Amino acid sequence: MASNPNALSSTALADTTLTGAAASGPAPSGTAPSGTASPTREQAQTVLRELVGHPEAEFHDGQFEAIEALVDGGRRALVVQRTGWGKSAVYFVASLLLRRRGAGPTLIVSPLLALMRDQVAAAARAGVRAVAINSANQLEWDTVREQLAADEVDVLLVSPERLTNPSFRENQLPELVRRTGLLVIDEAHCISDWGHDFRPDYRRIADLITQLPDTVPVLATTATANSRVVHDIEEQLGKDVLTIRGALGRDSLRLGVLTLPDSRERLGWLLTHLQDLQGSGIIYTLTVSAADDTARLLAEAGHEVLAYTGRTDPADRERAEQLLKDNQVKALVATSALGMGFDKPDLGFVVHLGAPSSPVAYYQQVGRAGRGAANADVLLLPGSEDRDIWQYFATASMPSEEKAAAVLTALAEAGTAVSTVALEARVDLRRTPLELLLKVLAVDGAVERVGGGWRSTGQPWNYDAERYSRIAEARVDEQDSMVIYQDTAGCRMEYITSVLDDETARACGRCDNCAGRWFRADIAEDATETAGQTLRRAGVVLEPRLQWPSGMDRLGVPVKGKIKPDEALADGRVLARLTDLGWGGALREAFAAGAPDRPVDPGMLQACVQVLREWGTGDARTPGWSGAGRPAAIISLPSRGKPLLVDSLARGISEIGRIPYLGQLQLNHGGPTGGRGGNSAYRLAGVWDRLVVGPELEGALAGIRGQSVMLVDDLVDSRWTLTISGRALRLAGAGAVLPLVLGQAG
């Protein structure tokens, strides 16, 4: 079609619609050309052109079919099309046509409301009055309610979380359901167990669909779904579903895989070749610390890069996105936090340091490149530790029968509503998995959210072990597919699109297997050396706990509120986090299940000594030894799993630093109970009064009363063991307690 290139960037909507239209070429036979068509087609065409702001815009394959099914057929439709195809054009055009025929407002459920600002603005130009209700605009809710009552809203956008809000469900939803003219479910793969980011809130949507009269059309949209997810969504949509499924392959992407021996080589490759990659792009990592480390390394070598993770402030994230869009940075080094909704049509490349755990996740991330450009490069640098990291995230997100039963029992015993914070003192679960579990239980009807927290409904709940084991199996299959992707000798695009059940999957002729290696594999020697130095650099500040968990009296521990300053720890140091690129690998190995207890590795001991040297010197902001004074003695924790490791570390530091080693604290009542990974209150209860200063150590401490001591341990997670031990030492006369630990988990 005759597209005006200037229009491509005029609005987000024009961008997507025209790019898709141009890519799909002329309308196939069987699709009526404009001018000779049904009244619906003509009206739809006019609205599309207003929406896009282009007088010659045409629908492309599937768009009008979906609109027709909704508007004329009152049907239920599922659109599975890649990002950029123009799904929003379908629901805005359909909404306006339905409104003109007297239908009520469209209800759009989307997790991406904040990211839809551009589309909503474009829709307004075509006369679509769209408003949103989400947690960010509470002040506007009253106005929205009035507008709805006066029938002045064409499209109402709500987040899935809204649907679980009790007052929204009671006061507003019934009226909305009664009046709605079209229901749109964006990111519909979230309603399927098999979707890669299943969200319990989305199960409410299935309820919502069943409440709608059969005559109300429903549109579900998603960019990536394999056949299993498609069938699952179709089933939830109801009878006679029209599914429009496009090809996934992107002709502009050039895929490749480069397997290198370790992080040092992979970072060396980036240092050597980042500048060769065209335009600006994204470097994805699997963990926050890998993103931070990589961004720091590249920035120190003079590359314009910024880290972008779940820990980045929202304002800094927005700024980073803008800098990337404006090509003011070469790359963002990001975790999956840079996700759905980020749109830069001319993104030049996507490099992965470590593979995501599923083809869907990988395809979504690489699909951010080459939307509006003819060429984009996509390179995967897999890591040998990838599988460990996948495993870690997979086990962290599954509810267990035992935990669910504990939550239900706690709520039943309480008899009234219990807040999430209060529940933490009753059930050994951390905040995020606890909240996820509560949502699952709420959707299943066993608990409900009320003012003041959560309440048991008294309804029986059965743990669906079969369902969870099926999901776990599916996850393992996905991981295996990513490994095959790396090793395949065939076309990579064909492999990944066929794993995603794209029937049009075919060889691309562009990837490294089809057309030969398109990237260089050499690594500058000094680059590997620089990477190695950065990776060997060690030392992370370990901040002390300041507050006791609430509800400890319930667990028999007589503490609450702030930890008294004269019983608290000073700032400490950790050699590295287990997820760090540098020492993380060696530490993960040392602390892996079943790893033997050995004396500390000499290289690791040297790295600890370097950390201590820098700690003792201080810097512009912090005085040496965190302002606590040089430690007069070293004391270690009695290790249950790694006595040789801890003892050799404490003695090694004592020898090199010429600081006397006074021995260990003593176990009391058989030592700490419980393992890592539980919540704060339970961890504290498990170590409380179980580590004490023995008579011999007490005598030695009396000799250095008021001076600092260093407390050595192997692995820190909740910090409660250190906090309790530090408190015991301070009560026995230590001036300040400076923890030094090898690894930090979590």
CB of 473 to Zn ion, least distance (A): 29
Nearer to Zn ion, 391 or 488 (CB): 488
Nearer to Zn ion, 340 or 514 (CB): 514
Query: What are the residues facing 108 on neighbouring strands?
Result: 157, 184
The full DSSP string for 101-147 is TT---EEEE-TTGGGGHHHHHHHHHTT--EEEE-GGGGGGHHHHHHH
User: Which has the closest alpha carbon to 585: 265, 311, 255?
Assistant: 265
Nearer to Zn ion, 509 or 660 (CB): 509
CB of 375 to Zn ion, least distance (A): 14
User: Which has the closest alpha carbon to 294: 302, 305, 281?
Assistant: 305
Terminal CA-CA length for the chain = 53
Provide the sign of the torsion angle of the four alpha carbons 427, 429, 431, 435, taken in this order: negative
CB of 336 to Zn ion, least distance (A): 25
Whether 574 contacts 565, CB under 8 Å: no
CB of 326 to Zn ion, least distance (A): 32
Nearer to Zn ion, 67 or 355 (CB): 355
Taking CA atoms, 739 is separated from 555, 558, 572, 620, 723, in Å, by 27, 24, 5, 22, 9
Query: Distance between CA atoms of 39 and 717, rounded to whole angstroms?
Result: 66
Nearer to Zn ion, 265 or 494 (CB): 494
Nearby residues of 565 by Cβ (< 8 Å), 6 or more positions away? none
Whether 324 contacts 280, CB under 8 Å: yes
Query: Chain centroid to CA 321: how far?
Result: 17
Nearer to Zn ion, 370 or 726 (CB): 370
CB of 306 to Zn ion, least distance (A): 32
CB of 403 to Zn ion, least distance (A): 45
CB of 495 to Zn ion, least distance (A): 9
CB of 516 to Zn ion, least distance (A): 11
CB of 511 to Zn ion, least distance (A): 3
Residue 80's CB is within 10 A of a number of other CB atoms, namely: 27
CB of 507 to Zn ion, least distance (A): 5
Whether 76 contacts 217, CB under 8 Å: yes
Nearer to Zn ion, 257 or 611 (CB): 257
CB of 251 to Zn ion, least distance (A): 11
Interacting residue ranges for Zn ion, rule: CB under 5 A: 491, 493, 508, 511, 514
608 φ/ψ angles, rounded to the nearest 5 degrees: -65, -40
User: Which has the closest alpha carbon to 182: 218, 140, 143?
Assistant: 218
Nearer to Zn ion, 382 or 672 (CB): 382
Query: Distance between CA atoms of 244 and 86, rounded to whole angstroms?
Result: 13
Nearer to Zn ion, 484 or 514 (CB): 514
Nearer to Zn ion, 148 or 511 (CB): 511
Query: Distance between CA atoms of 34 and 451, rounded to whole angstroms?
Result: 55
Whether 110 contacts 187, CB under 8 Å: yes
Whether 294 contacts 285, CB under 8 Å: yes
Nearer to Zn ion, 297 or 491 (CB): 491
Query: Distance between CA atoms of 672 and 317, rounded to whole angstroms?
Result: 41
The full DSSP string for 367-423 is TTSSSSSS-EEEEEE--TTHHHHHHHHHHHT---HHHHHHHHHHHHHH-S-B-HHHH
Nearer to Zn ion, 323 or 514 (CB): 514
CB of 500 to Zn ion, least distance (A): 15
Nearer to Zn ion, 123 or 255 (CB): 255
CB of 280 to Zn ion, least distance (A): 25
Nearer to Zn ion, 205 or 491 (CB): 491
Nearer to Zn ion, 510 or 577 (CB): 510
Nearer to Zn ion, 407 or 493 (CB): 493
Query: Distance between CA atoms of 556 and 423, rounded to whole angstroms?
Result: 16
CB of 88 to Zn ion, least distance (A): 31
Query: Distance between CA atoms of 591 and 646, rounded to whole angstroms?
Result: 12
And the tokens for 35? Answer: 């001018």
Nearer to Zn ion, 338 or 508 (CB): 508
CB of 255 to Zn ion, least distance (A): 7
CB of 220 to Zn ion, least distance (A): 31
Query: Distance between CA atoms of 244 and 85, rounded to whole angstroms?
Result: 12
Query: Distance between CA atoms of 365 and 359, rounded to whole angstroms?
Result: 10
Residue 671's CB is within 10 A of a number of other CB atoms, namely: 13
User: Which has the closest alpha carbon to 67: 16, 223, 59?
Assistant: 59
Q: What is the dihedral of CA 263, 269, 275, 281, to 10 degrees?
A: -50
Nearer to Zn ion, 84 or 249 (CB): 249
CB of 224 to Zn ion, least distance (A): 19
For 657-666, give one letter per residue: b (16+ CB within 10 A) or e. bebebbbbbb
Element (H, E) at 175: helix 173-179
CB of 487 to Zn ion, least distance (A): 15
Whether 531 contacts 518, CB under 8 Å: no
The full DSSP string for 317-364 is HHHHHHHHHTT-SSEEEE-TTS-TT---TT--EEEEES--SSHHHHHH
